[in-house]
Amino acid sequence: MSKEVTTTSAEGFSATNEIREFETAIDANGDAAPDTLEALLAAYGSCYVPALRVGGQQRDVEDLGKVEIDATGHLDDEDKLESIQFDVRVEADVDDETGEAIIERAFELCKVHDALKGDLHAETNFQGDAF
């Protein structure tokens, strides 16, 4: 199984992404659309939500109710992502110990979290004069 996305940029630093029948825009400058790091944080948070829900079910919290995550990406002096912080709020009444267990399990389940490992690197081919 594989996942495919086609990213196209006609000019400048903005790109359109075709994901199945969906289309998203990302602008590296953040002027016309979310920037690349904002898009990464959104994907990470969006992946972490279902991981939290499953982790909760596996820790005997059947329904977390409303889930809200504030994802903050802290940048270094070169504007590169240095660290990420999640502030997670759930509607369900969950004690701290169970909450920590849910958080740990969610990181084990989250596919984006797993993809952020240091040894994952895109194998790349390049073709000039393609259009």
- Is residue 89 within 8 Å of 67, Cβ to Cβ? yes
Average pLDDT over residues 103-125: 92
Domain coverage including residue 18: 1-34
Whether 24 and 45 map to the same domain: the answer is no
- pLDDT tens profile 63-96: 999 999 999 999 999 999 999 999 999 999 999 9
Token digits of residue 35: 């920037």
CA 93 to each of CA 61, 100, 109: distance values in angstroms, whole numbers, following the listed order: 9, 13, 22
Q: What is the CATH number of the domain that holds 75?
A: 3.30.300.20
Same domain, 27 and 76: no
The number of folded domains in the chain is 2
Residues 27 and 50 in one domain: no
Residues 40, 95: one domain? yes
Quick one: 25 and 75 in the same domain? no
Which tens digit of pLDDT belongs to each residue from 50-67?
A: 999 999 999 999 999 999
Residue 122 lies in a domain: no
Any idea what DSSP says for residue 116?
T
Are 24 and 76 members of one domain?
A: no
Nearest Cα residue to 81 out of 25, 32, 40? 40
